[in-house]
Amino acid sequence: MLGVLKVMDEMGREDFLYAFSGTVGGRATLPGFVPPIYDLTAPDGYFRRREAEISAMPAGPERSAASAALQAWIFDQYRVSNARGETLSIREVFARRGLVPPGGTGDCAAPKLLQYAYDHHLVPLAMGEFWYGASPASEVRSQGRFYPSCTGKCGPLLTFMLEGLEVEANPLDREFTAEREPAVLYEDPVILVAGKPAGMLAVPGRTRARSLLEWLRERYGEVYSCHRLDMDTSGVMVFARTPAARSELERQFAGREVSKTYRARLVASDRPFAHARSGTIALPLASDYYDRPRQLVDREHGKWAVTGYEVLAELPDGEIDVRFTPLTGRTHQIRVHAAHADGLGRPVKGDRLYGSPDGGRLWLHAETLTFRHPGTGECMTFRDLPE
């Protein structure tokens, strides 16, 4: 990742700082880029010497203890500040949350930029990180696109380093932003079927935003959730009104007896859309441990995710209208299959995790849902037209 920070000096003059994440060719410093918070690459430094000593030890408890002590020493050398003038080691920043910093914490572009600004009495004004180069095989990265900092390494670190600055709210933590009320598509004494608007939680979450489940309970009394949709995804959902109905619907979802289709708008690109008009995408997915809720393509440990697709139209503005049919139910399955280079190579429009935020909604809509009525056994299909 490359990072850019706009700053202002004590005379009110504005300038730009540049940084890269990690190292380049084994080097932590390059002309034109801010230096690392702490340089571990010095060949005659303590880290390199101690690392060589530990590597020469036989495998066993002594080597493991020495390696852990060296890692703790590293995080004590990385000292970071915030706009309030406070300075802590990275180990202390994470300890405040009862956490241990992962390896590599502090070497990303954003903390490098902020620390350089504080060290040189510069006021941070605006910052962004974007990808440069080919995408890693496991991730969804497109050259030139801006991406949010990871939650595992940079989340706790940047939260501390940004204290004292006036910053915009994290868009990933935004409150209820749905532009319309939910729509009840069907009701009987056993089930409710509703159309969830984009921007509304399906069930209560860690924020105080009202969820679709709570909205239904306000109107119908006790209602039970049976499946989920991401907050940013709109479309049809079924809810149970009795415990028995909930149990039966959950069994159908778990047994892959429920059929679903989704409509998505994929972003325009300067490259032609070279994929077949219909087909199947199969990629193994796993959670990105250090950047949840993002998913990775993990060919060693991932679980297979399979999605059918049909291109409905290539629009004049270059966007692609696609219908997806998920055959498995992995987290962010359609979003990753759309964006990854081994999928369709085009993010869903408005996807803040796997594409670029454009200020609008995520153009992903649960269009149809087919299941057997938990009371009568009748096969039922419900459709909710895209917004």
Q: Do β-strands 379-383 and 87-89 pair in parallel, antiparallel, or remain unpaired?
A: unpaired
How far apart, in whole angstroms, are the C-alpha atoms of residue 176 and residue 357? 17
Return d(Cα 49, Cα 57) in angstroms, integer: 13
- C-beta neighbour count of 364 within 10 angstroms: 28
188 catalytically annotated: no
Tokens 């940079």 label which residue?
Answer: 154
Peptide bond into 374 cis (omega under 30): no
Say which amino acid occupies 262.
Y
Are the beta carbons of 343 and 283 closer than 8 angstroms? yes
> Who's near 351: CB < 8 A, 6+ residues apart?
335, 338, 339, 362, 364
* Contact by Cβ (8 Å): 228, 239: no
Residue from 230, 288, 351, 384 carrying the catalytic annotation: 230
336 with 344: CB under 8 angstroms? no
Instruction: Give yes or no for a contact between 158 and 83, defined as CB atoms under 8 angstroms apart.
Output: no
* Residue of 290, 269, 300, 287 whose CA lies nearest to 336: 287
Distance CA 347, CA 265 (A): 9
As a whole number of angstroms, the distance between CA 223 and CA 210 comes to: 15
Q: Which residues are catalytic?
A: 230
